[in-house]
Structure formats: structure tokens, C-alpha cells
Amino acid sequence: MTAETVSRDERAMPKGKDLFVILGALMLAMLLAALDQTIVSTALPTIVSDLGGLNHLSWVVTAYLLSSTASTPLWGKLGDQYGRKRLFQASIVIFLIGSALCGIAQSMTELIVFRALQGLGGGGLMVLVVAIVGDVVPPRERGRFQGLFGAVFGVASVCGPLLGGWFVDNLSWRWVFYINIPIGIVALLVIAAVLHAEGERESHRIDYLGTLLIVGWAVGLVLMTTWGGTRYDWVSAPIVLLGVASVVLIALWLAVERRAAEPVMPPRLLASSVFSLSSAISFAVGFAMFGALTFLPIFLQVVHGVSPTLSGVHLLPMMLGMLVSSIGSGQLISKFGRYKAFPVAGTPIIAVALYLCSRLDEDSSTLSMSLRFALLGFGLGLVMQVLVIAVQNAVPYEDLGSATSGVTFFRQIGGSFGVAVFGSVFSSRLAGHVEDLAKDRMLPPGFDPAAVQGNPKLLDRYPGQVKDGVLHAYAQSIDTVFLWAVPVAAVAFLLTLFLREVPLRATSQTRDYGEGFGGAPTVRSSRHEIECALSELMRKDAEARELYNRLGALAGVELSAGSMWALCRIAKDGTVSGQELADRAGVSVEEGRPFVDRIVEDGYVERREGVLAITGSGREVAGRLFEARRKGLAEHLEGWSPDEHPELASILTRLARASLGDDADGEVLCPPRPSSHGVAP
């Protein structure tokens, strides 16, 4: 890639207000998709009361998780191939259509189908937002904005249950879906008006068959766990056939992936013990997290009679515990370079918290519940993002993107299974307890547990003995759900003991822990992962003056920091007017003139009819600065063998050029502040 190409790419990127408007729209879109993983949880009891179908409750969550997870790889590669703007707009439209249809659903079956459609659009929102950020933000600045998008996941996870409950209490459960429409329309209009950068196009051989087979075996297994023990006996023909069909589809999927040019998940990854163990642990984490988020609101609203809004408030300790431990563990890993201790500690905490949740009953105090929820969240946060670090340190460069995406994929699949299994256990146990109450003549004729679930105040119409019996039945049923999850967390703990800890690479110390906290599906190429990490490392570099002075010493260039910035900028542009150069630096022409005069005097730049043009000697000196920067960045890639991967070598060259003479460090032409350690011009 030539300097002129880099320069043109940077000039095409939006600047100033336009950039922040685009980023705002992208954050809105990501917020929509992230919220819809959690906002429904506190509304579920009311939805079941209105639409019926208690046995299908878990599918309202599972349908969204499965469709968003399975569609994510397709959206990513289609966006690379055909342009991200149009695909992103299409994903927003699909998401909004799904939201509108969910809002007008008249049966549980309709709602489940429409949730799957909504998830299809949500998968596109997640992956394309991340890709478009790379198109509109220069590499040097990219790290600064990654944290903002990570924060969106954290906000969505904390606020989702709370917002869902508020809508149910003050409007209707249908507004849980309707609220997406005005926000999505704003994002759609802004993207249509302001986003012009399309990014580079890449040709892909898309693995449609592999994606279809993933959906097939995942749905088959989720159906088996949903229907087993409720609609059908575990040894009945439908359940056995579903199990056999799912195993066959898994075998076919593995065979197809071995032959696919660009598999959704390269089978060689499964041969890596670190990846396999991390994926299994991630599955268990998703199992516990999404299962808890789905069934704790039912416990709170029915057994303790709190409003949907207050049930969201009760969940805040869990979400805050998750946020604190996720961010805190990330900072400790960056500081000490060790990560295995966190999942080893986190998984038993999850197991203990799940066991304590299984001991809750109708008499548990708010403090007791809050402490248990916070402990569960704290344990989850210790594990989630660390698993991404583990696989990134264990796989070669060519598998970096697939491994990162794979761990997230298994967390989402685990969430789908968790909700399905929890739902099956809950429905089965509740039906059994209600039947026992009926046999003991403790229930009036025509009693409907689903109606009570949607409106717990109905119990006030019945005698105290009936009310106490029903509340205890619900408490026992949900307790069983959490008790069944304990062995899953215990197995995850045993797996963490065998997780091999690989020395932490510099690029793994820059993870966006907020995104890991959100648990949303994403797909990134190996190139994207390295670019994100390097851009964050560049952001953490010393102040601009120090950086240029250091590079000047390494390259043997005796110029002030401001003159080196101007030389690199002019070398990238080829020719540039004095006014444009001053605008890029954020100074007046008079303030910047001394820096330019120096490189003109040295023969590195010529003034030609009001235009500054790079000379041969100037290009050679700038090249030395670029090479010094490239070598500095290469030190961050120790262990990735950039000399063996042409793509990595290209990334280093491109980022080295892009990060010198960049608008973001034009402050070196400004008068030094008292705290600056730079050399005065």
C-alpha cells in the first residue's frame, strides 16, 4: 500500500461532527441489539399471562439467541464482499420489522417466530457496527473509541431488565419491542445521510451450508432439551430421533467444515485443547448467565410479588457484580500478565452462587437475595472475557479471528441451551407441584398457574392456604432450576484446572472488556483483531512530542517533533497547501511556519506556488521515521511471527504510516504546555 493510498483513505474518512454523528448512530444500533438479549426477561411473566404457552416461555429468549448467533458470520462476510453500508441498513430494517411484528404478536408461536426474525437483524447489527468503526475511524484513533462501544454492552446488560420491567408497569409488554422502532429509525436515517465510507471490498467464499448445519443441530438439541420430560418422555421416539438427527448433523457439519474454503469454524481449532476447553467453559458460563436472567424475574415477580420494574432493580446487584469483576480482572491481567487464576476462581464462585440461589424461598430477604445475585454476577465476570485471552494466546495468527469468534459463539449457544433446559425443568417441576396441590385438594377448580405468573395479585383472591401453596410450588420449581445448573458450573471448574496458561502477548493486554461483559456474538478476522489491539497500544503510547523525539533518535533524524510531524504528513500527501497542513495540525499558518521552514531549509520539502511538495531526500528521511515506527509496532507482535505472514507485515507498514503525521498528533505544532516533556521548537 502506497503513502498516497493511505492518504486518500484518511481524507475519505468523516471528520469532526460528521464522525461523531456516525458513531452515535452506530452506538444506538448496537444498543438495540444488545438490549434485546436482556430486556425481555422481566417482561416474560406478563407475556405468558397475555399470550399463554407457559411451556414455550424459554423460546422467546432462545429464538433470538440462536438466530443472531448463527447469522453473525454471514453478515460479516457479506458486508466485506458487497459493502457494509447497504448490509447494515438492511440489518436495521430486518430488526425493526421483527420488533414491530413482536409487538403485535397474538400468540406465543407468532412471538417466537418474530423473535427469530428480530435476531436475524440483530446479528447483522452486532458484527457490522464493529466493521464500520474500522472504516470511519483512523487506526491511531480506533483504540480510543473501542471502549465506548464496549460500554454500550455494559449499559445494555445492566439496564435491560430494568427497562423491560418499567415498560410492563407503565405501558405494556409490547413496548419492550416497540421502543426499538423510533431509535432504529433515527440510526437508519443518520447512517443513510452521513455514512459514505464503504471500506475495502473483500471476496469471500461464504460457508452457507456450514451455517445451515449449525442452525440445524443447535435447534435439534434445543428442541430435545425443551421437550424432553415435558411434552414427551426422555426415551420417547421424538426425543430419541431429535438426538440422533442432531448428532448426524454435527458429523455432517464437521465434514463440511473440513472441505469449506472459509469455514465458519475451522475444525483444526477443535483439536486445540485450549480452544476446546475455553469453548466448553464459555458454554457453561452462557448456560448460567442467560438461564439466571430468564428465570430470576419470574421468581421475584411471582414468589415475592414485586413489580416488573422492581424485579429489574433486584437484578442490578448481579449485573453490577459482573461489570466490576469483568473490568477489574481485565486491569489485573494487563498489569500482571496472568489470567488462568480468574476462571479457576470464577467458576466455583458461580457454582456456589447457583447453589445459594437454589436455597431461596418465599421468605428470603431482599438483602439475602441481593448478595446471592451479586455473587453470581461477580463469578460470571471473572470468567467471560478471560476465555478470549486464553484462546488468543494459544492459536496461530491465521486462526486468531476464528478462535475469538468461536468462544463467543459457544457462549451464545450455551445461553440458548441454558434457557431451554431451565425452561424444561421449570415447566416440568411446576406442573408436578401443581398436580400434587390439586390431588391434596388445595387448589380451586380451573386454577391457571400461567395466569398467576402474569399477574401474581390474582392469588390475593384465594384463601391464604392456597396462596401459600402456590407460591411455595413456584419457589420449589425455580430452586430446582438453579440446582440443576450447579453441576454444569462444577464441570466448568474442573475444566479450568486443565486450561493451559500461555505467556500473555502484548496484543492481549488491550482487550475490550466491556464487550466481553455484554456477551454478544461477533465475528472478526485475524487482521481486525490485530489492528484493534495495535491501535489501542498506539493510543497508550507516550505523548506525541515524546514519540516523535524518540523516533527521531532511532532514525537518526535531527528535527523538532513538530517538523517531523509536518514532514511525515507532507510525505503521505505528496503535496499539500500550507493552509491545509495548518488545519490538520490545528494551528494557524503563522504558528506552523517555523516547523515547515526548517524542513524546507534542509531540502526535505519544496514550496511550489503556495503548495508544499515532498522531495526525494524528504521522502527518504520520512521513510526512516516510518520504518522506526514499524519496528516499534513489530515489538508488540512478539510471538505472532509477522515476517511469516504477509498480511501482518502489511498491517505493520500501513499502521506505521497512518500513525505518523496523523491529525490526532498535530498538537506537536502547538506551543508546549508546562507539563510537556517535548523539545521546544
In this prediction, the residues of the chain whose per-residue pLDDT falls under 70 are 1-16, 53-55, 80, 134, 138-147, 150, 154, 197-204, 229-230, 401, 438, 440-459, 505-544, 638-645, 647, 663-681
d(CA 666, CA 245): 62
**Would residue 678 count as lying in a domain?**
no
In residues, how long is the chain? 681
CB of 24 closer than 8 Å to CB of 149:
no
Percent of the chain exceeding pLDDT 70 equals 79
Helices of type H across 179-236: 180-194, 208-227
d(CA 378, CA 227): 32
User: How much is the pLDDT for 670?
Assistant: 63
The residues with which 577 forms a beta bridge, in sequence order, are: 611
**Would residue 72 count as lying in a domain?**
no
**Would residue 190 count as lying in a domain?**
no
User: How much is the pLDDT for 675?
Assistant: 37
**Would residue 90 count as lying in a domain?**
no
Q: Which residue has the cell 471502549?
A: 147
User: How much is the pLDDT for 98?
Assistant: 92
Question: Residue 61: exposed, middle, or buried by beta-carbon count in 10 A (0-12, 13-18, 19+)?
Answer: buried
Which H helix or E strand runs over 614?
A: strand 611-614
User: How much is the pLDDT for 455?
Assistant: 59
Backbone torsions φ then ψ of 677, nearest 5 degrees = -100, 10
**Would residue 350 count as lying in a domain?**
no
CA-wise closest residue to 33 among 108, 84, 94, 101:
94
User: How much is the pLDDT for 159?
Assistant: 79
CATH code of the domain covering residue 553: 1.10.10.10
CB of 132 closer than 8 Å to CB of 88:
yes
Range(s) of the domain holding residue 570 = 526-669
User: b/e map of 74-92 (b: 16 or more CB within 10 Å)?
Assistant: bbbbbbbeeebbebbbbbb
**Would residue 643 count as lying in a domain?**
yes
Q: Which residue has the cell 503556495?
A: 610
pTM greater than 0.85 (yes/no): no
Domain count, the chain: 1
**Would residue 214 count as lying in a domain?**
no
User: How much is the pLDDT for 533?
Assistant: 66
d(CA 93, CA 113): 17
User: How much is the pLDDT for 104?
Assistant: 92
Summarize pLDDT for 194-219 with one digit per residue, the tens. 777 555 556 667 778 887 888 788 88
CB of 449 closer than 8 Å to CB of 54:
yes
User: How much is the pLDDT for 518?
Assistant: 46
